[in-house]
Amino acid sequence: MVADKSKRDIFINSVVNFLIEYNLDGFDLDWEYPGAADRGGSFSDKDKFFYFVEELRTAFNKVGKGWEITVAVPVAKFRLQEGYYVPELCELVDAVHVMSYDLRGNWAGFADTHSPLYKRPHDQWAYEKLNVNDGLQLWVDSGCSPKKLVVGIPFYGRSYTLSAGNNNYNLGTYINKEAGGGAPGPYTNATGFLAYYEICAELLNEDGGWTKKWDEQGKVPYAYKGTQWVGYEDPVSVQIKMDWIKSKGYAGAMTWAIDMDDFHGLCGPKNTLIHILHANMDSYDVPEPHVSTTPRPEWDRPKSTTPSGGSSSATKPTQPPTIPSRPSTSISTSAPVSTSSSPVPSTPDDSDNFTECEGDFLPHKDCNKYYRCDHGKPMVFSCEPGTVFHIGLNVCDWPANSDREECKP
């Protein structure tokens, strides 16, 4: 939808009519995630998502009812790079709802808490900065004002089934990944997932066999019984996060989701977690931030589209300068046949010898580099050290898995 201007116009018009008909206050955007190649996204999503938000803001301003736009966003750095013009997006929306949960899960291959506040000693590689504190700081460092950032706090836990015979219940312990997660709860009935009210009821039963522990650095609890292991939030960890939010000057807190709180009061006061959020936010005034952000270079700013029915109140970024093409006869050689069913692009014989491209990914003559097409212009990216670009899968992989003979060890 967002890739087509006419379809964006139709959708935005329907949103405006819907808000008017039902007297609503605003619109929340939850696209997971723009530019995510692993989820069917494309490189152009980053621009198109920005266009959509800009046009939506323009339409809302024209109506003049003070409607808000909020957006749910991730904390992984590569997701931000793929899909978000952070400073410009934060200027256009009223609040940025940071999904600072599900940072671990059965997909990771080990048991861990999924919303740690800080980095722990066992966090390495891709998980080193994947925590609430560093995730929010990434948005600030990328150009988003702290007063726009709303911190996500989960009212549920991510559960795991440990490997058979594994008596190590520490953070990062081995799991039976093929199980898909921990056993389903009696009410949510979802593998790898337990609501807070399901977890607290089990822990309340002294004969239930569960043992509760505390993640000292992550400031969150976890519990285990037999082969079952779950990381979650409780009143203590939620209060710690609320104190941290106020100390950082962030806009506030949001949750996924209120129906997973202890709404029957099985383990204490009813809806204890949401009451902690409310008690801390009720008298909290968001301070003016003391951080400054470096303006994005003109060439790196997204192009603006012609708004529908008026202009945006946000400053329009200018179009990147056109890079002149050098005349050449672009000679290309066919890349080796991929084991994937995906079409195999051609490899230019010289990285300086082509100035236009089509599609999304293109291989580079250097094994550890690749191109992505941005408005028909090739942009060079580098793989992490020790990896090479896999043409068929469009990912960086170990050299032994390469589909190019010259890139294999």
Look at residue 311 in the predicted model and tell me its pLDDT: 47
CA angle, 378 then 45 then 147, to 5°: 115
pLDDT 10s digits, 83-135: 999 999 999 999 999 999 999 999 999 999 999 999 999 999 999 999 999 99
Does residue 336 surpass a pLDDT of 50?
no
> Interhelix angle for 235-248 vs 132-141, to 10°?
20
pLDDT 10s digits, 18-72: 999 999 999 999 999 999 999 999 999 999 999 999 999 999 999 999 999 999 9
Give the residues across from 363 on adjacent strands: 370
Look at residue 294 in the predicted model and tell me its pLDDT: 62
Does residue 333 surpass a pLDDT of 50?
no
Boundaries of every domain in the chain = 5-281, 332-407
* Catalytically annotated residue among 32, 128, 216, 298: 32
If one counts every other C-beta atom within 10 angstroms of the C-beta of residue 294, the result is 8
CA separation for the pair 278, 239 (Å, rounded) = 11
Q: Which range has the worst mean pLDDT, 166-175, 231-240, 309-318?
A: 309-318
CA separation for the pair 70, 210 (Å, rounded) = 39
40-64 in b/e burial notation, b at 16+ Cβ within 10 A? ebbbbbbbbbbbbbbbbbbbbbeee
Read off the DSSP letter of residue 320.
Answer: P
Structure tokens of 94? 């009223």
Look at residue 376 in the predicted model and tell me its pLDDT: 72
Residue 147 · residue 245 · CB < 8 Å: no
Residue corresponding to tokens 């949103």: 15
pLDDT 10s digits, 365-387: 999 998 887 777 888 889 988 89
> What length is written for the chain?
409
Local confidence band at 318 (pLDDT 50, 70, 90 cut-offs): very low
Average pLDDT over residues 286-302: 75
Look at residue 316 in the predicted model and tell me its pLDDT: 36
| 82 catalytic residue (yes or no) | no
CA separation for the pair 350, 348 (Å, rounded) = 5
Overall fold of domain 5-281:
TIM Barrel (3.20.20)
Is CATH 1.20.140 the classification given to domain 332-407? no
Look at residue 54 in the predicted model and tell me its pLDDT: 97
CA separation for the pair 29, 32 (Å, rounded) = 10
Backbone torsions φ then ψ of 359, nearest 5 degrees: 85, -145
